[in-house]
Structure 1
């Protein structure tokens, strides 16, 4: 996909040919399990916590003295507070959109990027979510924006952009959490199994940290929700992951265009432009890709993940930044050209003040930061230089922040009424608030890097199977050397079923096809387990027809229609109050929050369907009693045959498996599993 999209000669392989399923899991899982570069992490964490302390102190003073400490005035009611919110939500939107689009397009190289992008989207949303609350003046009454029964029988004003922000940020947070958790669920199972092996090793060695190791394994086991890598699990997981990504794309477009239409729908010079929604969306994606590229480079350098985050990944990220930089330059050129050619005097005056007025430094920082740094990436050498790519990403992020300040402050300082024109200058408390929110973001990011997989193990393994031909060949060679060990049911314990171990998915699928004819559904339940999605196993099991889409569609339609009906009822019938000259049945004002609410309820429906259809969480499934089953999240594939009644002939089942040829489904090992 990357070659078709960007063209040119590739900078190198996406993944090393020597990478194996076990090696990929070991390289990524070693970071949260062994904590390499421990001293560097503690130094960075101390700095982030210091900034977080600044945030806490600033918020305390803000609650004591009020929002006036930000130096806002009657003219410039929105300054660094809303600019910071717009910037954070822009970074979140860009990161979420990049991850979702790469997933929907099936880009092979997404494994090194999507986990970081999803994490940045979640953390940036958390940082952004604080600003709409703390800028209210009395933030402890933030829940007044929510539709809930109260003693005054009042409704929130659904035509107000403040309510749109409240619904948008909640919906955005729900989708970010869902996409992040669903994508990480199989990787959490890998951490669970590796942590359990390490806990058992320390327990046998009587190590002093054995209790801590066991506690860590238990925590990973709980958050993994009993994931077993079942073929049915993988089928629903793939559908849920992609569907939530689609909802995320729709929500990003809704949030960014909704916020910009709110400005463009006004008559303020500099805002009243049809190009504003496009430039908002472009610069949001641009800043998200820039921050993602900088963090990817940081992780690659610090943790030595050159084999998984290759030069080819850096090259593709550089090309993305270059394309978005050209799009941003076009938006600026179109705005200036159209305004000076066809705009009114007030709009032209805004552009002149941006370039020569009191805030010219901010304006030129925005223009130069968003346009010039990316042009360096026309050079292939610059695109594949990690430090250059990270520097460009950070400059783009700084330019995007300056752009938000420029759009808000320059317009608000001088409107149509000379009597209401007031100057504005940034205040140290506003700067400290943004620096503190950056500390919150960095603190959460460092905790993520310490305890969770920074690179998607699943996507990297899928890429290895597709691009490294030696992976499956090595597995087949191991299978040819293995010795079959059919074992009798130990002792008088009742039989749960039979398990078989395989080195590859193709062998598992061949074995399932061979035994399905002697395994009626009323006698045995067949399933397959493995460390990656298994489409061939699904076909062998006949499970291809299941779909999660009806649940997503029903959840989105019911949620969106219900919220829209509530808006109509509250505004047109129960709580009639004119605002902003809008009519009571102001359907465009109702559509914006209704779409966001529909995306949120659809996401919740998908998440619940994923758990219910896969019967998760279940932490004590009998499949965990299969010897060596922990490798189902590593490099082995398992067939499980659960007996249903006394008519299941385990001996016949085992004979059929042992009769298979090595190259067509012969298992490495066969076991009988007691209940």
Structure 2
């Protein structure tokens, strides 16, 4: 049972499929809390303006405005990059793991986590570019044909960053769009209904409503909730999530490999990869908790984001807080017991040196706030969760500053020791990137569903099956009669509507043997319909071969390009590494493999489902808009002139009320 893990319901028992769609789509269609949104957007826009001002000054004066020097070449710029990519990694990992584990409560969290991963990656991607000094030449880090006959340096961490960011962005966009696609269809249909209502009423905003419906229709790509669509969608969603999880592990452990590639003390512990990964996930969950609490409060989504969701988020934060505390304790004990003099010196400077405040901020904010979540009352208090999440985000940023700055200010040579002080322009750049993030987030909340409609509906069907039972009983009281169409109209096929997936599956089973060579059967509904796959003969379809082929070809191709360039075509001695320094090629090759596999999955999703297709005869079925709402449809398409519509209608009309009788049967003209 979905409600057996912790106490309390995941969704209100009286929620219906139609009610869930109406609650979530009302936010982008009617804009509740409009004044508060504009106030927040104005604040975010001011920060975004500060970001643009800072970038303009940076391009004119150079990276020296951040206060970096010959010793501390990485400071707030790379710390901000690491923090943003950590938030993105944590959000992506949480979303992917919840999806792969099939957590039924994920619908209230996944959409926010996927959006945060995408927007944080966009914010992070700017930092490796703007810290180059001449950012307009950023593309020199990428392998591309050029007149200079030059290759990028594949053994350099700078190239790893470039490949990681591009791969991360591709996977985040793909996971976000795939999860959003069915919800866009729901928005399309509801926006169409609203546009028609305004046109009939001659409302002054009717042109805007019509334009909005057209835009949603285009981005929905012709999704119609076909059983074939859902089958490939579920596989694509889960497989991209798996690739995202693998990429997160690769990127976070790869970051520790970048640091370990230098001689600087304090960056060579085998605990660093684990610590990076734990704190990245921790910060991602913390920021996700803050945003989920704000959305729940502002838009009144208490029915979909329940106290049990808060409890689960609190438990996640508590577990990650304990894991972070363990990482700190293990690192400090190991350094004091087994570290050399230089490593101990780094640890001492972290705790008592010029930047001790940053270090203690990291430790206290990452370890202590989560401990209040041992209390069940605190775990279900929105303000407490938001406060803990915010403190965790602050602590994670301080941790990145601590790891970089404290080590770089003092290396092995006394002559190269230079102090570092935080500059106002470094703070302004980070604040501006927060403004960019918030601006994009607010636009997302205004125009797209903040909670997954599909996952919430699946949860409602699992938690409250009585909802569909009531609809099925209403169907049993109706005598299904075929609707007559003019005999002169060319016939496309026959459609029938149902109240539940079970009735649709029973009807498909009943008619699947009628002239199979002359009929193409399909089912349509607002949620995935695994029970319809056997009657439709779709059980053998899989997207995994495309994913595997794309990942293997992409990873092997990139690895081969690295070997060819460094060993044969562009031979230079870099950092004492040999020509065939294959360990340096593993990190970017894995990232590229994940990206190539993701692109292959996305293309397979569209090609196998024959999308985009903005106009399909099924859209001509009366009431078909409810296929994205609360109805299930059977379509029997005529393949040739020997199509026997009357026989199909008789078979459907004769089904028992409790086993597949349709609500309505219609003949559909072309």
Interval of TM-score (by shorter of Structure 1 and Structure 2)? over 0.9
Distance 2:54 2:627 in 1: 49
- Partner residue, 1:579: 574
Distance 2:27 2:259 in 1: 45
- Partner residue, 2:564: 569
Question: Structure 1, residues 187-224: CA drift from partner, whole Å, max 9, x if none?
Answer: 00000000000111111111111111110000000000
Q: Give the TM-score, by structure 1 length.
A: 0.98
Distance 2:262 2:94 in 1: 30
Task: From 195, 200, 203, give the equivalent of 2:196.
Answer: 200
Secondary structure of 2:72's match?
coil
Question: Structure 1, residues 111-150: CA drift from partner, whole Å, max 9, x if none?
Answer: 0000000000000000000000000000000010010111
Task: From 640, 645, 655, give the equivalent of 1:645.
Answer: 640
How far did residue 2 of structure 1 move?
8.5
Distance 1:73 1:540 in 2: 69
- CA contact 2:71–2:409 (8 Å) conserved in 1: yes
Alignment of 1:514-529 (within 5 A): 514-520=510-516, 522-529=517-524
Task: From 524, 529, 532, give the equivalent of 2:527.
Answer: 532
Question: Structure 1, residues 603-650: CA drift from partner, whole Å, max 9, x if none?
Answer: 000000000000000001000000000000000000000001110111
- Partner residue, 1:635: 630
- Partner residue, 1:55: 51
- Partner residue, 2:669: 674
- CA contact 1:25–1:457 (8 Å) conserved in 2: yes
How far did residue 473 of structure 1 move?
1.3
- CA contact 1:87–1:400 (8 Å) conserved in 2: yes
- Partner residue, 1:172: 168
Task: From 232, 238, 253, give the equivalent of 1:236.
Answer: 232
Distance 2:525 2:646 in 1: 24
Alignment of 1:7-26 (within 5 A): 10-26=6-22
Distance 1:2 1:492 in 2: 52
Distance 1:154 1:174 in 2: 26
Alignment of 1:333-482 (within 5 A): 333-482=329-478
Distance 1:125 1:149 in 2: 27
CA RMSD across the alignment: 1.0
- CA contact 2:28–2:447 (8 Å) conserved in 1: yes
Q: Does residue 1:66 correspond to 2:52, yes or no?
A: no
Distance 2:137 2:293 in 1: 41
Alignment of 1:219-234 (within 5 A): 219-234=215-230
Q: Does residue 1:138 correspond to 2:95, yes or no?
A: no
- Partner residue, 1:297: 293
Q: Does residue 1:597 correspond to 2:603, yes or no?
A: no
- CA contact 2:504–2:633 (8 Å) conserved in 1: yes
Distance 1:493 1:517 in 2: 26
- Partner residue, 2:31: 35
Runs of 4+ in 1 over 4 A off after TM superposition: 1-4
- CA contact 1:15–1:463 (8 Å) conserved in 2: yes
Segment drifting more, 341-350 vs 30-39: 341-350
Distance 2:487 2:73 in 1: 78
Unaligned runs of 5+ in 1: none
- CA contact 2:2–2:462 (8 Å) conserved in 1: no
- Partner residue, 2:114: 118
- CA contact 2:3–2:10 (8 Å) conserved in 1: no
Distance 2:3 2:290 in 1: 22
Question: Structure 1, residues 294-325: CA drift from partner, whole Å, max 9, x if none?
Answer: 11111111101111000000000000000000
- CA contact 1:17–1:469 (8 Å) conserved in 2: no
Distance 2:480 2:203 in 1: 35
Secondary structure of 2:343's match?
helix
How far did residue 652 of structure 1 move?
1.1
Distance 2:87 2:262 in 1: 25
How far did residue 12 of structure 1 move?
1.1
- Partner residue, 2:321: 325
- CA contact 1:11–1:311 (8 Å) conserved in 2: no
- CA contact 2:507–2:660 (8 Å) conserved in 1: yes
Q: Does residue 1:283 correspond to 2:279, yes or no?
A: yes
How far did residue 469 of structure 1 move?
2.6
- CA contact 1:261–1:276 (8 Å) conserved in 2: no
Task: From 152, 156, 160, give the equivalent of 1:156.
Answer: 152
Distance 2:279 2:534 in 1: 44
- CA contact 2:117–2:172 (8 Å) conserved in 1: yes
- Partner residue, 1:78: 74
- CA contact 1:112–1:456 (8 Å) conserved in 2: yes
Secondary structure of 2:429's match?
helix
- Partner residue, 1:544: 539
Secondary structure of 2:368's match?
helix
Question: Structure 1, residues 3-62: CA drift from partner, whole Å, max 9, x if none?
Answer: 88xx7xx24111111011001000000000000000000000000000000000000000
- CA contact 1:523–1:644 (8 Å) conserved in 2: yes
How far did residue 480 of structure 1 move?
2.2
Distance 2:486 2:444 in 1: 44
- CA contact 1:254–1:595 (8 Å) conserved in 2: yes
Distance 1:443 1:581 in 2: 45
- Partner residue, 2:206: 210
Distance 1:673 1:300 in 2: 43
- Partner residue, 2:266: 270
Secondary structure of 1:601's match?
helix
- CA contact 2:86–2:284 (8 Å) conserved in 1: yes
How far did residue 483 of structure 1 move?
4.3
How far did residue 346 of structure 1 move?
1.1
How far did residue 266 of structure 1 move?
2.5
Distance 1:132 1:404 in 2: 15
Segment drifting more, 534-543 vs 78-87: 534-543
How far did residue 489 of structure 1 move?
2.8
Segment drifting more, 76-85 vs 255-264: 255-264
- Partner residue, 1:557: 552
- Partner residue, 2:649: 654
Question: Structure 1, residues 207-252: CA drift from partner, whole Å, max 9, x if none?
Answer: 1111111100000000000000000000000000000000000000
Distance 1:616 1:469 in 2: 32
Q: Give the TM-score, by structure 2 length.
A: 0.99
